[in-house]
Structure 1
Amino acid sequence: MLSHVLFWGGGAVFLVTMGFLALAFLAPQGLRRAMGSRRFLIGGGIAFPVVVLTALLGYSLSVSRALTKPMSDAPLRVEIIGRQYWWEVRYPDLGEGAVTANALHLPLGREVELNLTSADVIHSLWVPNLHGKLDMIPGRVNRQRLRADKLGELRGQCTEFCGQQHALMAFDVVVQTPEDFDAWIARQRAPVPQPETEEHRRGMQVFGEAGCGACHAVRGTPWVARIAPDLSRVGSRATLAAGALPNNRGNLAGWIAAPQDIKPGNNMPSYARSLEGSDLLALASWLESLR
């Protein structure tokens, strides 16, 4: 509704302005002379835009105030930390292990409070279908309340230039029924299952030998670092590298082998020269199985 009012209000100012411009060229000389009078200039050039734009400003402020007004006393808190160039997402009210990366899951119809901050430079979070933009500033927590009223998948994006790969800093928003959301949280908190195949066992071994656990966490294992995205359920995510690639085994292997070729400037080193092809595929296969 707000966008419609602003569009038509701005459109009315534009049409009136263009109408006056046309009259200035096409109207008879007597009318053009009248249009040059002080009364006409003050009324059409000052009073009209001031009244219309002030009314639009007042309306937008009233709607914005209503959007930020708390709807409940106990919203679901979600902590989102912007990093170059990915998103860390935590649900502190739902347990220690309720954490993911580059994906925001929301329960349908429940008010959510996003606590937004940054670990490095200024980022800005925007989900066009849910709410406006809000900056994420190092050392400060900005809060944004929203409620998703339709099931489905949406896209979010960083809208503040934050470095070389700013354009490839997106995230998925998944709106679920409360039951599906609770089941998803339970899976996030649970430790990953032990590998069942020889290939997956080798992949898990390669993960440790290659030093991946120095940056990444996998629940239920000794690897608990928070420098890079949590990989506990990486196989269930729709994309890799904050929306840079669809998530599948081939892209996982390609990302591990040459992340700088895919997303130059990110903080992950390349493993093409340090991992054998079979080990690389085993590692990608194990990560894909973490769902």
Structure 2
Amino acid sequence: MSPPTSTLSAPNKGGFAESLAGWPPPVLDPAGPYAGSVTTLSWILFFMGVAVLGVVLMALWIALFGKERLRARLGGKKVIWIGGIAFPVVVLTALLVYGLTLTRNLTAPPGPTAMTVRVTGEMWWWRVDYLGSDGQLAMRDANELHIPVGKTVVVQLESNDVIHSFWVPRLSGKLDMIPGRRNVMKIQADKPGVFGGQCAEYCGGPHALMGFVVVAHEPAEFQRWMAARQTRVQQAAAANTRGAQLFQSTGCAACHRIAGTQANGLAGPDLTHIGTRQSIGAGILPNNRGTLIGWIGNAQAIKPGNRMPPYTMLSGEDLQALADYMQAQK
């Protein structure tokens, strides 16, 4: 199933799982120029692998069942020099030159209009910082990246703990996130949609459940989305609800941040806009009231080993109040 191609006026209505399933698989279905060059090179390697396998099987058949004359020629020095040395050197050299030429757009300097974001790998989620033209933090989010269609996005990759790897197969290749170092990659989407990503480097614990979502908007819609995020004002009604009181009294505010409130924790994902996200738990569950209640109540049962403790002491009414408060954060 292909990602939706219409505008994403309600991005939290599902769809993130669709980007991770169906045929062709994401790695062979590029949606942007940087993924396209990687996919082209991958197909060439696939076909070359099949061709080499065919040659090896043919040589094996000759060695076992071929005529004596063919078997003698197969074991001769000429075949060894040509097939074992000359041919690999020529083919691999040509492949190296072509591969570097084909993927030069991955390392070319971005244009002056490129958008810049910083994604930091955490155990086991993603911190997302949108940077302004001056390189300063403009907005903070988590586990989800919104980008405009047709525009290059420079992604600064960092890690606060162990080695992670950022990979959104339909938008670019993969690149490691190494503690103490900043790596840079480029992504671009040529059409609107929801594109799933994944940590591609084993990082312990629930590594396999460390997902990511990229949402590509038409440029005008992206500008409206960004303006709404940057001018967000905490609603007084939401701030005075039971859910807001529980968020403070149960210790949620010690780990999470919600702009416009006293919650300024940095240990966990920023929840300022959680009500609009595609997913929760770092891309593993659709974002709705039911999944929020389950995650808040016992995240360990859903994603064993993650750093959020279970809140089994909360009543059903308390969990519903907290979930309603989370859904109000938009």
Normalised-by-shorter TM-score class: over 0.9
Deviations 1:77-122 (A, max 9, x none): 1000000000011111177452211111111111111100001111
CA contact (8 A) 1:13 1:49 kept: no
Q: Distance in 1 between matches of 2:50 and 2:238?
A: 64
2:292 to 252, 273, 281: 252
Structure label with greater radius of gyration: 1
Normalised by the length of structure 2, the TM-score is 0.82
Q: Trace 1:202-241 onto structure 2 (pairs within 5 A).
A: 202-241=242-281
Q: How large is the Cα RMSD of the aligned pairs? A: 1.9
Contact 1:195-1:286 within 8 A present in 2 as well: no
Contact 2:234–2:259, Cα closer than 8 Å, also in 1: no
Q: Distance in 2 between matches of 1:284 and 1:66?
A: 44
Percent identity, aligned pairs only? Answer: 46
Alpha-carbon deviations, 1:158-196, whole Å to 9, x = none? 011111100000011111111111222223223354254
Contact (CA 8 Å) 1:128, 1:156: kept in 2 or not? yes
2:35 corresponding residue in structure 1: none
1:66 alignment counterpart: 105
Q: Which moved more, 1:209-218 or 1:181-190?
A: 181-190
Whole-Å separation in 2 of the counterparts to 1:259 and 1:206:
17
Q: Structure 1 residues 150 and 178, CA, compared in 2 at 3 Å: closer, same or farther?
A: same
User: Secondary structure in 1 aligned to 2:171?
Assistant: coil
Name the structure 2 match of 1:185. 226
Give the 3 Å change call, closer, same or farther, for CA 197–54 of structure 1 in structure 2: closer
Q: Deviations over 1:189-240 (max 9, x none)?
A: 2335425479x71111111111211111111112122211111110111111
Match of 1:26 in 2: 65
- Residue 13, structure 1, aligned to residue 52, structure 2: yes
CA spacing shift, 1:78–1:258, aligned 2, 3 Å: same
The 1:120–1:197 alpha-carbon spacing in structure 2 relative to 1, beyond 3 Å, is closer
Cα distance in 1, alignment partners of residues 138 and 96 from structure 2: 44
State the match for 2:323 in structure 1.
284
The answer to whether the Cα contact below 8 Å between 1:100 and 1:188 also exists between their aligned partners in 2 is no
* Matched residues, number: 289
CA positional deviation for 1:249: 0.9
Is residue 2:155 matched to residue 1:124?
no
Q: What does residue 90 of structure 1 align with?
A: 129
Structure 2: gaps spanning 5 or more residues: 1-39
Gaps in structure 1 of 5+ consecutive residues: none
Query: Which deviations, in whole Å up to 9, do the C-alpha atoms of 1:140-175 show, x marking residues without a partner?
Result: 110112222121111110011111100000011111
- Classify 1:49/1:197 alpha carbon distance in 2 versus 1 (closer, same or farther; 3 Å): closer
Q: Mean Cα displacement is larger for which, 151-160 or 188-197?
A: 188-197
CA contact (8 A) 1:104 1:172 kept: yes
Q: CA deviation at 1:4?
A: 2.4
In 2, Cα distance between the equivalents of 1:234 and 1:70?
34
Report the 3-state secondary structure (helix = DSSP H, G, I; strand = E; otherwise coil) of the residue aligned with 1:98: strand
Contact 1:238 1:246 in 2 (8 A): yes
Q: Distance in 2 between matches of 1:31 and 1:211?
A: 78
CA separation of 1:219 and 1:67: change in aligned 2, threshold 3 A: same
Give the partner amino acid of 2:302: I
Q: How does 1:95-174 map to 2 (within 5 A)?
A: 96=137, 98-174=139-215
Q: Which amino acid aligns with 1:2?
A: L
Please give the secondary structure, in 2, of the residue aligned with 1:226.
Answer: coil
